[in-house]
Structure 1
Amino acid sequence: MPPTPYVKRPGWFTNNVLNRTVAWFSRRGISLAGSNVLAVKGRKSGEWRRTPVNPLTHEGGTYLVAARGHVQWTHNMRAAGGGEMFHGRRGRRFTAAEVPDEEKPEILRAYLRKWKWEVGAFFEGVGPDSSDEELRAAAVRHPVFRLTYVD
């Protein structure tokens, strides 16, 4: 049996206060440190699911990094192959391709350079100054998707 994928579940405060606050601001066009709201169809229900995320622009691409690991939105993204990114009321449709682990170190480094203050605890000691080897070892725990906007 394969090992259980890494998941760092959010606590009550994050789910019920922090995420809702960030999403509320984002829906009104106020981004907190670059946050947006990701909408992706549920893989089982087919219903749209929304969660605040920090999209990363890096070397001409846009990426979503799952700081908390293999969480629900990552499973839904794999099944749906894309979704919508919202900043305010404006949504942008996109397709998503998962980035292979061996290509993640520079993306993770850029992500941690920008948001370590917010997500560093989920990376278990890995930071923007970590070696490629350390980042590659952490890559398996953190799915990364490259977004391609379609409209």
Structure 2
Amino acid sequence: MTGTTRYLPPGRLSRAINRVVAALTRRGLSLWGSRILSVAGRTTGIMRSTPVNVLAFDDEQYLVAARGNTQWVRNLRAVGRGKLAVGRREQWFTAVEVLDDTRLPVLRAYLRRWSWEVGAFFDGVTADASDDELRAAADKHPVFRIVPTSTPEDRG
């Protein structure tokens, strides 16, 4: 786990947009890579869901927490697995948090793809930033590699 406690809560407009994206994604329409992430709550065990952007990069899939140490990040760290869905298609996975410099190209690719949506959360750091600038921002934006699981036992 990284040492960050940064969390930027969504405002009213962001919450409204998230509701629209979530509704469309639940109906099977992925907007720019959107999925519904479901993770068991770390204290209740109840599945919690939120729309996220899944980044496909170097034959892997990643989740990046643009807003920082969100509830889904805390839950994913605690339980280590979850489910991504678009419509009725579900993908169960194990999450591996990426803590070293291998997250830098992932963050760069994420910013290239979604800077128009998430750039404000990165304090001026862009996809063209130096490695040092990206490294300084990395602790504020957790990165998880998605490892698909195929059997119920793997899903926990």
TM-score normalised per structure 2: 0.91
Cα distance between partner residues in 1 of 2:4 and 2:126:
24
Q: Find the aligned partners of 1:69 and 1:79 in 2 and give their Cα distance.
A: 16
Find the residue that maps to 1:54 and give its secondary structure.
strand
What is the root-mean-square deviation in Å for CA atoms of aligned residues? 1.1
Is the contact between residue 116 and residue 127 of structure 1 (CA under 8 Å) also seen in structure 2? yes
Matches within 5 A, 1:35-50: 35-50=34-49
Q: Do residues 60 (structure 1) and 59 (structure 2) align?
A: yes
Secondary structure in 1 aligned to 2:101? Answer: helix
Structure 1's unaligned 5+ residue stretches are none
Q: Which moved more, 1:99-108 or 1:32-41?
A: 99-108
Q: CA deviation at 1:140?
A: 0.5
Inter-partner Cα distance in structure 1 for 2:85 and 2:13? 23
Aligned to 1:139: 138
Percent of matched pairs sharing the same residue: 53
Cα distance, 1:102 vs. partner?
2.4
How many angstroms apart in 2 are the aligned matches of 1:47 and 1:4?
Answer: 25
The secondary structure found in structure 2 opposite 1:55 is: strand
Query: Deviation of residue 76 (structure 1)?
Result: 0.2
Q: How many residues align?
A: 148
Displacement over 3 Å in runs of 4+:
none
Q: In 2, distance between residues paired with 1:64 and 1:4?
A: 17
Aligned residue for 1:74? 73
Could you report, residue by residue, the CA deviation over 1:45-88 in whole angstroms, capped at 9, with x for unpaired residues?
Answer: 11000000000011111000000000100000001101000011
Which AA in structure 1 matches 2:138?
A
Structure 2 residues not aligned, in runs of 5+: 151-156
Match of 1:14 in 2: 14
**Could you state the TM-score of these two structures normalised by the residue count of structure 1?**
0.94
